[in-house]
Structure 1
Amino acid sequence: MRRSPLLAVVTALLSGVLVAPTAAHRADAAPTAFVHPGVTVSQGQLDFARAEVQAGAQPWKAAYDQMTASKYADLNRTPKPRATVECGSYSNPDYGCTGEREDAIAAYTDALAWYITRDARYAQKAIQIMDAWSATITSHTNSNAPLQTGWAGSSWPKAAEIIKYTYTGGWANSGRFATMLRNVYLPVVIKGSNSNGNWELTMMEAAVGISVFLEDKTSYDTAMAKFRTRTAAYVYLSSDGSLPKTVPSQNLDTRDKIVNYWQGQPTFVTGLTQETCRDFVHTGYGISSISHVAETSRIQGQDLYGTDVGERLRQALGFQSKYQRGEAVPSWLCGGSLNLGLGPVTEVGYNALHNRLGIAMTNTQALTEAQRPAGSNNLFVAWETLTHGDNPN
């Protein structure tokens, strides 16, 4: 189930991950044929989780129980779609923002519950929620509209992939749902954002997931290219040089501009993120989206974990995890004070890098195991101990 680092390197070399990419086999290019279900969680991962839950094995059974006890798995849930979802800064005003995000998570939760139990009521509830929104929503407005579109747009395709490709009871309005993703969500998220990095990373997560569901290779490639650029500009590695990489469109062309964008942090060390000195909550959003896109890409046949994306993810997880666990904060880091609260965001990256590739991740492992079962951040992360905890697939 676990591979040695040497085997991982050999495998990566044979697959072309660590060699110079060719035009036909770039590590960030759309696959020749998309794999379904294939957004963040694969058929093999679903089968593993189902078998472990049915066997009563831990931590998966506890994770499943946590999920089904949540409000998101309530079979009496009534979706609350709106034609226009209006979200201001920090979702104030909140006209449909919380409702949309939570309905999207609920649809994904029900899809997972369907797969594990084969209880058709869960599949039908997921369909009811997705149908309600696809029949209603036309736009997002106000200052947080791009981020809101990314948050909800990250959960919708995860739910839709499972239902469309595993539920045999039929989904008559799946085409209308696809049209919603194509017309309401994709045009917004594919543009990206020059705000804090977690915005664009979440938006690219949504764009990649939607592209898989729509089998849209052009959008997939566009989103992946922006994702690679933003990831490199979000997590610092010493190999980047004296200053972090930047996104060209942001015109961060002086040290002062870069330091200001990095929340006033003048010292750059491997694993630091652009939002570490803001707070760990938003940093966790960024890290989570990096792991989700990398996982989707792996399922689609192009493994980014053997590229700088994987190294940045590993270092970001380790750096943040040690302070989240209580290590003293040095005076040079964020003025000696950190706002903690990383959230349930470590399972996907930890499983990929430690369990599959055999990389030691002491702090990330300790934090991950202490936080199990990982729940939901009520925005776009949900139930990742169940789907990815020590999952060999």
Structure 2
Amino acid sequence: MLRALAGRALANLLCLSLAISVSGSAPLTERTVAQAPTTFVHPGVLLDQNQLEFIKDKVNSGEEQWTNAYQAMLQSPLAALNREPSPTATVECGPESTPDIGCTAETEDALAAYAMSLAWYISGSAQYAEKAISYMNAWAGTVKAHTDSNAPLQAGWAGATWPRAAEIIRYSNAGWPNEDITNFENMLRNVYLPEVIVGSNSNGNWELVMMEAAIGICIFLEDSSNYVKAMNTFLDRVPAYIYLTSDGEHPQTAPASSLTSSAAIIDYWYGQDTFPESGIAQETCRDFVHVGYGLASISHVAESSRIQGTDLYAGDIGQRLRFGLGFHSRYQLGASVPSWLCKGSLVDTGTKRLNSVTEVGYNALSTRLGHVMNSTGILTMDQRPAGENELFVGWETLTHGNNTA
């Protein structure tokens, strides 16, 4: 159903007009131009080794939050050891899953590989590593293209997940043969990256997940040039997706946008014509599911960037994420909708909700940085243990809930 809704590097990002420290993570306070890490950190897509060790220790010591989340993941159909990959040479994806030729299979197989990689790292059981490898090898040996109108989005969803699994397996002595790794690299380089790196002028959640995929792929491939390109696109898209009152009367637009008038911006923002509060998202008046996709990708990229040496949470990106999470969490929890917001009527936030997308951002911004995020915290606790969304978000209470590593 959700498919139908469609060592640490030196400073990685250089401020245009503000000099940054020559070492350590650089808080970003202005529009930035990306630089690739001088040395890529591995594993380094969404999770690093310290975080993985933290999770492993918590589960193996029987601590309730992590043990419950781990068992919930293992009980997912995607984590079944008798489940088999279903690769497709040409994945054909249209709007609202029409057609769905390999689309569901691809995102679910990628999530299954990620679940198996986590289970391998936590348990040390080779059967999980072998299963994760089987998914990655099956698709690397088969998929050649994505077609139809949703091809970029589909490549983004699956492409965001594959590198997470691959980073864990490759850098944990899981027994993935070098020849198979090369084949997987070629799949990411030749099938996924060309589809996502070009970006999108469609709804913001498209471009955000496409850049999430591109950045994760570039970390795995150690592709500095495309990392820079993807990160620059991301840094332009986030301010065009989440509004801050400091932006002025209307939201910012991405540099490649064709939105040249107030009327066009309002139409793109689904009729939202006034902006008295920070945190409104480009798709707020569409529904919260799509906003959740965007918030998830923002948090995922920020987390990978932090691992690679630059703390996006400390600057404009983090501020927009914090306000975006808080704004939508408040209404998801049942706050009265003011007349100025979406003409006083939000799309049903009971069924079309954020889902479990708050853990990564909440952990970074509240647990690590100490920001007060009451609504986001309540919603995060209410949704534990977080599951998977069938697309590109999976088991984030296990991976990031109260993860202080």
TM-score, length-normalised on structure 1?
A: 0.94
Q: 1:21 to 1:88 in 2, by over 3 A?
A: closer
Query: Which of the numbers 63, 69, 78 marks the counterpart of 1:63?
Result: 69
SS in 2 for 1:33: coil
Partner of 1:183: 190
CA positional deviation for 1:303 = 1.0
Is 1:106 the counterpart of 2:112? The answer is yes
**Matched letter for residue 382 of structure 1:** G
SS in 2 for 1:65: helix
Partner of 2:263: 256
Q: How does 1:1-393 map to 2 (within 5 A)?
A: 15=24, 17-18=26-27, 28-172=34-178, 173-268=180-275, 269-339=277-347, 340=349, 341-393=353-405
Matched residues in 2 for 1:330 and 1:29: separation? Answer: 42
CA positional deviation for 1:28 = 3.6
Contact between 2:29 and 2:316, CA under 8 Å: does it hold in 1? no
The superposition leaves residues 164-187 of structure 1 with CA deviations (integer Å, 9 ceiling, x where unpaired) of 000342334011000000000001
Matched residues in 1 for 2:69 and 2:34: separation? Answer: 32
CA positional deviation for 1:292 = 0.1
Q: Structure 1 residues 166-175 or 304-313, which shifts more?
A: 166-175
Matched residues in 2 for 1:300 and 1:156: separation? Answer: 18
The superposition leaves residues 212-239 of structure 1 with CA deviations (integer Å, 9 ceiling, x where unpaired) of 0000011110000000100010000011
CA positional deviation for 1:17 = 2.5
**Whose helix fraction is larger, Structure 1's or Structure 2's?**
1
CA positional deviation for 1:44 = 0.8
Moved over 6 A (4+): 19-22
Q: Structure 1 residues 167-176 or 118-127, which shifts more?
A: 167-176
CA positional deviation for 1:317 = 0.2
Q: Percent identity?
A: 58
Matched residues in 2 for 1:39 and 1:169: separation? Answer: 20
Q: 1:20 to 1:267 in 2, by over 3 A?
A: closer
**Matched letter for residue 36 of structure 2:** A
Contact between 1:45 and 1:391, CA under 8 Å: does it hold in 2? yes
Q: Structure 1 residues 243-252 or 226-235, which shifts more?
A: 243-252
Gaps of 5+ in 2: 1-19
CA positional deviation for 1:133 = 0.4
Q: 1:259 to 1:183 in 2, by over 3 A?
A: same
CA positional deviation for 1:16 = 6.2
Matched residues in 1 for 2:29 and 2:115: separation? Answer: 39
TM-score, length-normalised on structure 2?
A: 0.91
SS in 1 for 2:171: helix
